[in-house]
Every structure is written in C-alpha cells, then in structure tokens.
A and B are shown apart, each in its own frame.
Chain A
Amino acid sequence: MKATTWVQPTIVTVQDVPDPKILNRRDAIVKITSTAICGSDLHLLDGYVPTMQTGDVMGHEFMGEVVEVGADIGPDKLEVGDRVVVPFPIACGVCTPCVQGMTSACENSNPNAGAAEKLFGHPLCGMFGYSHLTGGFAGGQAEYARVPFADFGPLKIESDLTDEQVLFLTDILPTGYMAADFCDIEDGDVVAVWGAGPVGQFAMDSARVLGAGKVIAIDKEPYRLQMAEQAGYTTVNFDEVDVRSVLLELTGGRGPDKCIDAVGMEGSHGSPHIYYYDRIKQLARSETDRPYALRQAILSCRNGGIVSVVGVYGGMIDKFPSGSWINRGLTLRASQTPVHKYLRPLLERIERKELDPTRIITHTLPLDQAPHGYHIFKHKLENCEKVVLKP
C-alpha cells in the first residue's frame, strides 16, 4: 500500500510499504477513506519530537471502513464493513485511567512505556504515527491502518454525515473542545485564544457553544484571522499591535477571564530579539520548546482566571512566568486529549449543526501529494488552514 513516511527532519515522502496485519486479538484493519495533516505532525516533521525513525508512517487523524477484525472482536462491537472514526490515542478501555475516561493516559497501550517514562516521569499512552515514544505505531496517512483495541476506540458512523463532517472527531475537534471545556466558561466570560490554526478555530467554536460572551483570536496570519472573523470572533494581530494592551482594552482593563494556548512549542513572537533568544536555545538543545504563547497567555489572564493549554509542548521550557501564575491565583490546565469521552457528545453537536467542522478545510489533496500538503501547511502558503488527504 501507499503511505506517507518520515525520512529525516523536514522531509516526508509517499512510498510503498507492506499492508498492515493483525498483531493482537483486539486489532482491526481499516481501509482509509479520509485522513488529515495535524499541526502536531509539523513538530514531528521538523524533528522536535525525539525517537522518530526513517520509514515511520505518519498520521493520527483518519477514518475509513473496517476490512478485517481480530479474533477477540465480537460482531456486537465491530464488523467488517463498519464505517469508523479512529481516535488518535490508543486505549485499552480496561485500565484505571481508561475506566475513568482519561484514555490518553492508558497504561497498557504503549509497548515503549519504559522509554517515555524516562523523559516524562510516567509513561504516555500509545498513539498512531507519533514517534516511538508513543509506541511506534504506524499512522494513518496511508491506504490502510492497523487499529489496536478496535472494540473500544473507534466510533461507528451510522448516519449519512460526510467524511469531512466527522473526520476531525479523531483529534482536533475534541482537542479544541477540551480547551474550552477546561475553561469552566461562565456567563459573559471573555475567552482569548492564541493560535488561529485548526485547533484554535475549534477552541473558539467550542467556547461559543459553551456560552462565552466574547471570543478573541490572536495570530499573525491575516487569512487565519480572517477565517476567525468570518466565524464572528474578535481578532488581534500580534505582529501589528501589543497584545496585552489590546486585550486590556477589549476587557475594560480586567484581562481575559480564560486564556487558551493553541500554539505549542514552535510558536512565533512579534519581537525578533525574543524570537531568536528562544530559537537559538532550541537549536542548542538547551530548551525544546518556544513558549511565547504560553508566557503571554499567563501574563494576560485576569487574576484568578484559567489558562488552558492544548498546544503541544515536548520537553523543557525557559522563562516560565511562575510568579505571575502563583501570585495571581491562575489555574493552569493541560492534557493530551482523551478523545474517546468527547466522541458522542461532539457527534451529537455536529448532527444538531451547532458545530461545523468543515469550515476550516482549505485543501483536499490525493495522498500522493502529502509532501506538498505538509509544505503549504508548514509555511502557511496558499492560505492553507487544513489539509485533508484522500488515499
């Protein structure tokens, strides 16, 4: 089959690889009908996530049709022919975190848990196409994928919703929703979102449906800000204005009640000297992440507010504003998304047309053109917001 594989930092290719096979009794093989490139794939592309190997199949946002099931999967759970959306965290469904709904902390799904434990103190769950720290599972930017624990993870789509309407349930829609969910939004809350990429857009939509009074989008790409503006949000271009003063102005001096970081480790900064300070430290491997958005979100948030982090950070950061955080009583919340628990509620919101995930799709390309998709998404060319690939 054809698959998008990682070659070396900044290079991916589409090549022929063997077809996936059942390895565990609760596996299923899915023939992929739609898959997407995620912002976090760009961190893998650029080599910021350790333990990538040449030949690793990329991709953790995919859906398709079940073509084979393992011996332990009963027909009441999943059958050949079922149309499924596959959550990016691989979760067993029976360990304590899974039973409690924290599937992204599954204790059984990562065969390389020992290695992840050394970096993070405790292991991570397994994930599709997301380095060997999360298990070394082949991803879904391919024609087929092996899906472990297929009787627990995948969501069957039995209505006539299009792929484009449900594909983002795999990751970015639940991730954006979780960001807003962490904010415990109250009536009249002002929610500021750093990053108007796909996750940021969905965080804004989710803040809206959860009752925010005003939603503010912060970015520097005019086309991304325009997309947010069209959806009804206030926009701030950090390349043109001082973010903190504008936020104070927009909130009567209080600061946003809730701040969401949907940027992560490869952020940009309006001031070149600050950008290059962190960029050089990152290149020298003396920090792994450039946390501009996180720093600014903490400093901007009102006293006693909530800072919700869904941008991906990978290791260590410098100049963390701990004084602002503790003295002003901020709550900092973050997680890899336990996608499973958001699947059904979000599917219902899509069915009720409260959320329209298709609004962010700017490019639909054949799988063969995945490297081009990575290129335009990374460099923000052709007004690229979200690339969907069709195998």
Chain B
Amino acid sequence: MALDSQARPSPSEIAVVGRALGVVSAALGVPLVARPADVADAIGVGRKPRARLAAQIVGGRELAAAAALLVRPSAPFVWARVAGDAMDLTLLGRALAGHGRRHRNRTVAATAAAAAITAVDVVAALRASRSGSATELTASTTIRKPPQEVYERWRAFSNLPEFMAHLERVDVLDERRSHWVASAPFGSAEWDATITEDVPGERIAWRSDQGATVPNEGVVRFVDAPGGRGTEVHVQMRYSLPAGGAGKLVARYFGEEPHQQLDDDLRRFKQVVEIGEVVRSDGAPGGKRARKEFPQRPAQPLSTDEYTEVTW
C-alpha cells in the first residue's frame, strides 16, 4: 500500500540492527569478563583492583545486553545499550580527569571509540522507537451493495462524520483536497488532506498535508465480494499522535481503543449504506456518540430532556 515506508523501520530492520548490536555487546563483554586486568591496561587505566572490578562489571552488563538483544531484538533493549554507553562515558571521563601522563592517549582513544558506539546506539534506538509513536489500523466489513455505490458513499467525504465517531466535520476544498476536523482526548485536531489515489469503485488513498497535528494516511479498498455478497470494504490507516507512545497511553486511559473505534465506525458505515441511518437503542441512544460502550444508560425509554439532547 501507499503508506509512507520511510518514516518507520520495518520489524525486520529492528531485528537485524538489534542483533548486530547484540554481537558488538558480546565482542566487548567476553574479554572484559575473561581478562579484565588486560583490558583495563589496554585502555590505559592500569591494573589496579578497582579498575579490574569496573571492567568486570561493565563486561557483565555487556553480556546481559548481548543476550537480551540476540534473543529479542527490540527498541527497549537498544535503549538499555544507550544507558550503558552513558555509564561507560562517565567512567572514562572520570579516568581522564584523574589521569597521569602515562598511557593517557590510550584512554583518549577508548573514550573516542565509546563516543562513536554511543552515537550508533542512539541513532538505532531512535529509529527503532519511531514505530512506537505511529498507530497502524486495519478493519474490514462487507456491505450488501455494489462496489461503485459503496465507493461513492465513502468518497462523499462530508458525509463521513455521520458514522465516524471522532470526525466532527469534513470540508471538501476541491477535487483532491479537503479539510478535516476531529475531536481528540484533549480538544480537537484539524488538518488538510490530499487524495493520493482515486480509482472509482476500487480505492481511495489519502495523506494529510505538512503540518498536521495528527499526521495520518491510509487507503480504503472496495472489493467485489464473492458470490454476490456485495462489497468488501478494507481500511488501512496510520496516524501519529502528537506525544507518541505517551499520547497513546493517555488516550487509552480515556477509554479510546483505536481498533475498536475503527471497527465500530465501519459497522455504522454499513448501517448507513444498508439501512440509511445509524441504529439507536435506549441504552445507546446517541448513535455514533455512544462513544464509551459501558456502562451505558439503562435500557429504558428516554426522558424528554435526554430525547432532545440525542436527536437531530
């Protein structure tokens, strides 16, 4: 699909880079643990028991990091390496500060090497974590109408807020561009979007323009379902919340489960196309506004005030 593949590393990239860093950790850790005094001497901090102990601790840490990264290469373990790097640089900095002239150049070289490794780790960790801030969703439903008709109902963007819980308004600006207003856990978000692909009766792909608070993109495919079962609607979309992973946690705390919401949006789209409106019950009288599913209001008729509030 047309989703921007550069912004985020694939899971296999995390695996490859993570394992490579695991091998580096092992290569450093083994000599540090096996021959701590020799390594300490080689980097110019001498063979004293304190240097030896420090080398052994650092070596043990490297072996643990190696094991973690080789078994489960993932962003948190790469970040753990960055933390280890900070510790190494601190130790080497202290060594440099209290250093005599003897073998000082060896320590400088070791510090430079550690700094280089740190830089590699930071880049790798940042890349691996970028996957943590984007949310990718897929959902599908089957609607008992021909693909062209279902496509047309979706393509009339200004009607989407009727069934999409978060959308407040969509203004169509021209053939390809539109302005979107959605509610978010804190206030609302607005952005312009551009259609990147539009094949009538088959697919619509879009991407938000530069500067969107919630950058998003996606594609909706309309596929003839087998045996006259109507149209399969497949939605794939991705968006980044402003505060990344933290934003997702906050949203979930407020009861926003994105997969569930997209499923429910599609269910309501099916209702709108098949029966002409969103179905309401006494427990969930607000139609798409029945955001939080439970607890609902009791399944008993609405008072006049409640009725005025939920209806057109």
Contacts and interface: CB of A to CB of B under 8 A. Distances in A.
B276 A53 contact: no
Nearest to A55: B298
B210 interface: no
The bracket for how many chain A residues form the interface is: 35 or more
Contact of A18 (B281, B299, B303): B303
A9 B293 CA distance: 22
A112 B285 CA distance: 11
Contact of B270 (A18, A21, A108): A108
A358 interface: no
A245 interface: no
A285 interface: no
Interface string A121-144: 000001001001001111100001
B300 A5 contact: yes
Given A109-B279, A111-B280, A23 B274 contact: no
Given A92-B274, A96-B144, A111-B290, A138 B284 contact: no
B297 to A, nearest CB: 8
B281 A20 contact: no
Contact of B279 (A54, A108, A114): A108
Nearest to B287: A111
A72 B279 CA distance: 14
B146 interface: no
B284 A111 contact: yes
Contact of B298 (A56, A72, A92): A56
Nearest to B260: A114
A55 B270 contact: no
Interface in A92-116: 92, 94-96, 99, 107-115
Contact of B301 (A21, A109, A115, A117): A21
B31 to A, nearest CB: 53
A3 interface: yes
Given A126-B279, A135-B284, A115 B300 contact: no
Nearest to A53: B298
Interface string B277-306: 111111111010010011111111111100
A196 interface: no
A223 to B, nearest CB: 34
B144 A94 contact: yes
A25 interface: yes
Interface residues of B, number: 39
B155 interface: no
A136 B282 contact: yes
B7 interface: no
A135 B300 contact: no
Given A17-B301, A56-B299, A92-B274, A111 B281 contact: yes
A19 interface: yes
A26 interface: yes
B282 A115 contact: no
Given A3-B300, A138-B282, A23 B311 contact: yes
A51 interface: yes
Contact of A114 (B264, B274, B302): B264
Q: Which of B144, B284, B290, B300 has the most C-beta atoms of chain A within 10 angstroms of its own C-beta?
A: B300
Interface in B161-204: none
A87 interface: no
B261 to A, nearest CB: 9
B129 to A, nearest CB: 30
Contacts of A149: 275
B106 interface: no
5 contacts: A18-B301, A57-B299, A111-B290, A112-B293, A148-B279
Given A57-B299, A111-B279, 13 more contacts: A17-B301, A20-B282, A21-B302, A23-B282, A56-B300, A94-B274, A108-B270, A108-B274, A111-B281, A115-B293, A132-B283, A135-B283, A135-B284
Interface of B: 142, 144, 229-230, 260, 263-264, 267, 270-271, 274-285, 287, 290, 293-304, 307, 310-311
Nearest 4 interchain pairs by C-beta:
A136-B283, A55-B298, A20-B301, A111-B284
